[in-house]
Amino acid sequence: MLDRRSFLGAAGALALAGCGPREERSDVVVIGAGLAGLNAARLLEATGARVIVLEAGPRIGGRVDTRKDAPGSPELGAADIGALYARVLDTAASLQIELAAWPQLPSAYSYHYAGRTFTAAEWPTLDINPFANELRNVAPSALGQRFAPQPNPLPDAGAWLQEEFAALDIPYGKYLAEAGAPAAALPLIGVGQQLATLDAESALWRLRNSKIGALGMAAAMQARQPARRYVPGGLARLPEAMAGSLQEGVVRLNQRVVAIGQDARGVTVRTASGTTVRAAFAVCTIPLPVLRQVAFDPPLPALVGEAVATIPYGAATSVVLHVEQPYWEADGLPPNLWTDSPLQRGFLNPSPVGEGHHLWIFSTGAADLAARGWTDAETGEYVLQELKRIRPSTAGRVSVAAIRSFTRDPLVLGTYAHRAPGQIRRFGNILSQPVGRLLFAGEHTADLASGMEAAMESGERAALAIATQRS
């Protein structure tokens, strides 16, 4: 994060470029045209506020990323809408975005571990299984759940912020070990984790997310509704429609914010292109790893600045393969993959435009393919060759459709926010609180939700706070 001197330097450089900064005025400036920013902008416009939305990238949607020019229009970011995504569902309905139930696809894994390919049913009999007694019967992908507390000690989605559960804000690996997980289980539980180690994440944060997921499943069953839905034509239709519902010219693309200043009367936001926006309030949805590059004047309060600087984001690369022929029919194994190779996990997903299926390879954490410094073409070729090695039936039956490294994406620099051990006790959810006339939003600031609904929740919270002050 940049200090006052850096802020003034950024402002001075902008003043020297061309004829100087171009200043616009608005009631509210929203930074980021993902779901959080767009939801805030729509709600604020509904109150009569004049809004400008500055988006750093060339498109709308943020981590909602449908690649419409790739085979089958794969989803490179968020793909499905959960049963508890009330704001997402309501917004889709209001914008007449049709939804469809996620198709019933096989959920079982084909495993490749220690050089062997097997199913969950075969695992108990294999000599590479390091466990004894009943633990031999637990599939590698289920070990984390095996040592999770039943029931979850958190009574509701907001309990993670209550003092009585602060003792759970310890390293997740330590928590698992104390729950009885043997040392041999920890590397297997670590497959698919987004942080470098299990101990890099707070157990309380994991329990929070597990509780939110369980509540979603329970809500779907009680309402007899699909647990997951998708958007025919691609999930990007939702943020595009949200942006389209705003006043013409509100959303400005390719406007990377480099400095945010505020005083008693308002907020000044400066972009790398030389634009200056002066507004009474600002809503900032920039992901934290990128926000660290933004200059603040005055500097953020110490604890807020520490949270921005240290809250970790996951590392991951998505490689989506278009399924040309059903490889699982060729070898008789489940279509999904779990492996100790750098590929980590693969999931069979539907094409949102009805063009067959995609195999989504999600390489994460310490195994993240982004760490190898390859081009997308090199990454795609590696994935195809590695799949051929661990799942020979995929050879000639899948092709690379699209790749996105969240780790290397300069507009995100990670997947989404986690919490390190001790950070919940130290920070609570401090980023949900206003800093003068600046309000933070984005999934990293949500209290009660995760994923897309967290983004929508946070945008709503920021908009309501501003509307209250303006009334």
pLDDT of residue 21: 55
Q: How far apart are CA 449 and CA 108, in angstroms?
A: 27
Q: Is the model's pLDDT at 463 over the cut of 90?
A: yes
Q: What is the CATH number of domain 65-137+226-232+315-405?
A: 3.90.660.10
**Fold topology of 4-63+236-312+421-470:** FAD/NAD(P)-binding domain (3.50.50)
Query: pTM for this structure?
Result: 0.93
Fold match between domain 4-63+236-312+421-470 and domain 65-137+226-232+315-405: no
| pLDDT, tens digit, 9 for 90 and up, residues 263-306 | 999 999 999 999 999 999 999 999 999 999 999 999 999 999 99
Domain boundaries, the chain: 4-63+236-312+421-470, 65-137+226-232+315-405, 141-223
Q: Indicate the pLDDT class of residue 223, thresholds 50, 70 and 90.
A: confident
Tell me the pLDDT of the chain averaged across its residues.
95
pLDDT range class, residue 127, cuts 50, 70, 90 = very high
pLDDT average, residue stretch 174-191: 97
pLDDT, tens digit, 9 for 90 and up, residues 348-383: 999 999 999 999 999 999 999 999 999 999 999 999
CB 194 within 8 A of CB 188: no
